[in-house]
Structure 1
Amino acid sequence: MTYRSDTARYDTMQYRASGKSGLKLPVVSLGLWQNFGGTRDYPSAMEILGHAFDAGVTHFDLANNYGPPAGSAEELFGQVLARDFRPYRDEMIVSTKAGYTMWPGPYGDGGGRKYLTASLDQSLKRMGLDYVDIFYSHRFDAETPLEETMGALAQAVRSGKALYVGISSYPEKETREAYRILKEMGVATTIHQPSYSMINRWFENDNTIEACGELGIGVIAFSPLAQGVLSGKYNKGAMQGTRAEDPNGSLRANAIEPRVLDAVEKLSAIARSRGQSMVQLALSWVLRRPEMTSALIGVRTLEQLKDNLGVLNNLKLSAEEIAAIDAATASAQLDHRPRW
């Protein structure tokens, strides 16, 4: 059966401009990291992606290494584009990134022009696209001159392979320098994608969020639930089948220490008082700041997606609620700064 999107898809979603650009993103964007790899079948993927688009989620965020295995998320999304989403391509923002190891040897990792250029070409091929809407430098690479990395981003725009460019996990100093270099090349730094949550505030502590506001760079937060910790599932002992089971996985051990889980219990009381789930409280908090363009969610099931989208019913936090959240999380801060 051919997919046809809901005609009411723009009725409830809110959209915000990315910094000083003309690019608007939904306040909730969908990321395909870890949950849309080789083990995801087409029907279940389309169920989630279709429901998201029907709800006004127009932004789908990928990277060259998303899977597992690496590249499989882009391949799956490419199938969805070809079979169901093609008529709606001009209503969608598709982003991808390059910066982490993708293939062996000296040209498959980092911020070099050869790697970034080749990776973007490969991403476009996997997704069956002529261009992406946003292309990111996925990480700062201290071994490559920033002029070269930003030059590769500018080249992507000039070649028509990307409409906008952004950076991910860059600290304040490197954010300002990237902005300066791109501006001299006549290209805007449209967006910054950092990890950011109630218990991971490095982006605030580093003053990078203030720099983005000052420079007119939009911000889209990834891991606003601290990889599920702020959903409360680990407080219920739900470790099996989660990131907590893998000692070499992306979830750091201190994210589920008793001090953190105690803070989550306190936050759950605040969520209940607002008539929200823990997930919705976490998203409301991330989106409270004027610099924030969007919160990037990752889901495994349709039920999780619906829970996330419920944040649209109650986005505003009072000063008293923000103070209560600060008090509840004071001893649970992780300050997970970027690691390259």
Structure 2
Amino acid sequence: MNYIAKPERYETMKYIRCGKSGLFLPAMSLGLWHNFGNTSDFTNCREMLLESFDRGITHFDLANNYGPEAGSAEETFGRVVHQELKAYRDEMIISTKAGYYMWPGPYGEWGSKKNLVASLDQSLKRMNLDYVDIYYHHRPDPDTPMEETMDALAGIVKSGKALYVGISNYNAEQTAEAVRILKGMGIHCLIHQMQLSMIHRENEAVLDVLNENGVGAIAFSPLAQGILTGKYIDGIPDGSRAAGASVFLNANHVTGSVPVITKHLKEVSDSRGQSLAQMALAWVLQKKGMTSVVIGASRTEQIVENLKAMEKLTFCEEELRRIDEILYERV
């Protein structure tokens, strides 16, 4: 049976203007970093993507190296779009990125024009698309001149292969330079994707640069790889992500003060009538200039639970003060 999107899909989602642009993004976007590669169950991937769209998530965030295996998340996504979502392409914002390692040799990573153009061509083939809505440079390149990287992004917009461009993982100084160079080329930097959560606040300084320049912000890992779900308050459960050896989350990340901090944060979320994860998402979204948060999931139920954060996005001053006390360990 052919998929038909739910008519009420736009009724509960909040859409936020992305900086000084005409583009609105859903407050929550679905990221395909994990759990959408060719090692994952396709039926489950399909269900998560369709459920997300049915609930107003119109933005799907990918990168050339997402999987595992690298590239396979784009292939999975392209398969679902082709089979189920093709009729809704104009209602979707599809983003991808390049900059991390993808293929051997000097052209398979970083920020040269050769890498960025070739990588986008590969991504479009994997997703069976004519264009993406947003194309990011995934990480700053210390050796390639910034002018070359930005010229590649500007040329990609002018070629029609991307409607907008953005940057990711740039610090405040690098962000200001990238925005300036693109502006000189007649291209507006639409958005910056950064890691930001209640635990990882290092990029708050980047927000000031974005707000000054009318650039939107989108946060990845708003739940700190699952730490802010409260899963690790009482230790590391068997089978959890932190029980493994991932460089992104392992036992070293959930020891020390982390269990105490998350326990006290959960007390605040309980008083708000939210789960810790829902409060953590709402906390990121209340930051000035924040357009969206990228949520990840391994099953549909997680997406549904995270979306409940939309029911209470505002904080009173006392709640924010108490959260800061906890995060700076003045508990």
Same fold (TM over 0.5): yes
Shift of 1:43: 1.6
Measure the CA separation in 2 of the matches of 1:253 and 1:239: 11
Deviations 1:76-128 (A, max 9, x none): 00000000000000000000000100011111010111011100000000000
Match of 1:185 in 2: 185
> Which residue of 1 is the match for residue 94 of structure 2?
94
* C-alpha contact (below 8 Å) 1:16/1:25 kept by paired residues: yes
Identity of aligned residues (%): 54
Residue matched to 1:316: 314
Question: Are residue 55 (structure 1) and residue 19 (structure 2) matched?
Answer: no
5 Å-filtered alignment, 1:257-272, equals 257-272=255-270
Match of 1:222 in 2: 220
Cα-to-partner distance string for 1:234-279 (whole Å, 9 max, x where unaligned): 2244443333233343226542123011100001111110110111
State the partner residue of 1:165: 165
5+ residue gaps, structure 2? none
Asked if structure 2 preserves the Cα contact closer than 8 Å seen for 1:283 and 1:311, the reply is yes
Structure-2 residue corresponding to 1:111 = 111
Q: Is the 8 A contact 2:243 2:250 kept in 1?
A: no
SS in structure 2 at match of 1:227 = helix
Counterpart mapping for 1:188-199 below 5 A: 188-199=188-199
Which residue of the partner structure matches residue 245 of structure 1?
A: 243
What is the deviation of 1:34?
1.2
Pair 1:6 & 2:2 matched:
no
For 1:113 and 1:143, how far apart are their aligned partners in 2? 13
**What is the match of residue 323 of structure 2?**
325
- Looking at structure 2, the residues matched to 146 and 122 of structure 1 have their Cα atoms a distance apart, in angstroms, of 23
Matched to 1:41, the amino acid is D
Larger mean CA deviation between 37-46 and 59-68 belongs to: 37-46
CA distance in 2, matches of 1:228, 1:110: 28
Query: Is the 1:98–1:116 contact (alpha carbons within 8 Å) kept by the matching residues of 2?
Result: yes
CA contact (8 A) 2:243 2:251 kept: no
Describe the superposition over 1:290-329 as per-residue Cα deviations: whole angstroms up to 9, x where unpaired. Answer: 2100011001111111110001111111111111111111
Q: Deviations over 1:173-225 (max 9, x none)?
A: 10000001100111110000000000110111xx2111100100000000000
TM-score w.r.t. length of structure 1 = 0.95
* Contact 1:243–1:250 (Cα < 8 Å) also in 2: no
Task: Determine the structure 2 residue equivalent to 1:149.
Answer: 149
Counterparts in 2 of 1:58-137, with a 5 A limit? 58-137=58-137
Report the AA paired with residue 69 of structure 2.
Answer: P
Q: 1:152 offset after TM fit, Å?
A: 0.9
> In 1, Cα distance between the equivalents of 2:173 and 2:154?
20
TM-score, L = length of structure 2 = 0.97
Give the partner amino acid of 2:255. E
Establish whether residue 15 from structure 1 lines up as the match of residue 5 from structure 2.
Answer: no
Kept after mapping to 1: 8 A contact 2:146/2:178: yes
RMSD: 1.3
